[in-house]
Amino acid sequence: MMLDVRRINACGLNLEGCGVKKIIVEHLKYRYPQSTELALNDISFEAEEGEKIGFIGCNGSGKSTLCQALTGLVPHFYRGAYGGHVTVDGMEVMSSSISEIAVKVGIVFQNPFTQVTGAKETVYDEVAFGLENLGLPRGEIITRADAALKLLRIDRFKDQAPFSLSGGQMQRMAIAGMIAMRPRIIVLDEPTSQLDPQGSDEVYQALDDLSAQGLTVVLTEHKIEKVARYCDKILILQNGRSMAFDTPAQLFSAKNTEAWGVRPPVYTRVCRELLRPPAGVYPVTLAEAGEALANWEVIL
Ligand SMILES: Nc1ncnc2c1ncn2[C@@H]1O[C@H](COP(=O)(O)OP(=O)(O)OP(=O)(O)O)[C@@H](O)[C@H]1O
Ligand SMILES: [Mg+2]
């Protein structure tokens, strides 16, 4: 049998799409109408297929605005002053319509209550709503909606009224509705803000499954331990400016992120106090910290 060398690397890993740029943001500047300040000020970063990118920063630093710039809501819906370029899955946002972009980029907003249509009587209908708008055949709608409900573990609520759900269940319903549309890029603005620790872990597990399937995931998150464990790269925003874009380990080891209003994960802070890192890079997760505490030289 012929091996398709384009898709398999030396380690046998499937590299289909590897290295394909899914998001390219170049010198993006944006000001809301009637505002005198730039909400986004010269932002540049890139994301590849299957990568998980986190936006972090203080309240008002521009995380949600940048999320909306990836979906075209900035500038097409909000209007305002816009400069630079945003390209998603090969599509230039400025010269595409919101509905064209919506096929490629799904978003879950910061407040899940705003995402519920209010027009549907059951959770199932709410999740299937976007699919019906796409005009898909009935069987395809059922398959996709059922799969999304199961992935987010809310299939047992499917016959309930959307507004009878808790905040966390509603957040998962919003994610399910977006996933069912099968976008190539998903943007989640504080996806676990309403969830308890177990619910958060389940959402991150679902996102892991999706990025393993090649989806590019962008999220904002105030829980630094979560974003450091989950994301491949982190963009730190402060007052609409990009202060750093790097892997969690490089970012929290090499830079003084506190100056930008971001505290490193507690595991990194503990290890900084206690240990001398052999390679100059500190742990960012609990598992890495446990390993380092067992093996690295202790500062006396
Ligand atoms: N619709 C809007 N009209 C005018 N200004 C806005 C609008 N939405 C946000 N802003 C302003 O843009 C800046 C960035 O806000 P944004 O909501 O993107 O921040 P954020 O990092 O998501 O904050 P948070 O952590 O509170 O969610 C803030 O100064 C905010 O006041
Ligand atoms: Mg926000």
Tens of pLDDT, residues 37-63: 999 999 999 999 999 999 999 999 999
- Find the radius of gyration of the CA atoms of the chain: 20
Q: Ligand 1 center to residue 73 CA distance, Å?
A: 14
Does the beta carbon of 213 sit less than 6 angstroms from any atom of ligand 1?
no
Q: Whose CA is nearest to atom 2 of ligand 1?
A: 32
Does the beta carbon of 57 sit less than 6 angstroms from any atom of ligand 1?
yes
Q: What residues have a C-beta under 5 A from ligand 2, the ion?
A: 63-64, 110
Return the CATH architecture of domain 21-259: 3-Layer(aba) Sandwich (3.40)
pLDDT in tens, 228-282: 999 999 999 999 999 999 999 999 998 789 999 999 999 999 999 999 888 889 9
Determine the residue of 55, 56, 61 to mutate for testing ligand 1's pocket, defined as the one with the most ligand atoms within 8 A of the Cβ atom: 61
Distances (CA, A) of 209 to 36, 121, 203, 212, 215: 42, 29, 10, 5, 9
Q: How high is the pLDDT of residue 5?
A: 33
Single pTM value for the model: 0.90
**Domain parsing of the chain, residue ranges:** 21-259, 265-300
Q: Ligand 1 center to residue 187 CA distance, Å?
A: 16
Residue 16: is its pLDDT beyond 80? Answer: no
Looking at the CA of 37, which ligand is closest? 1
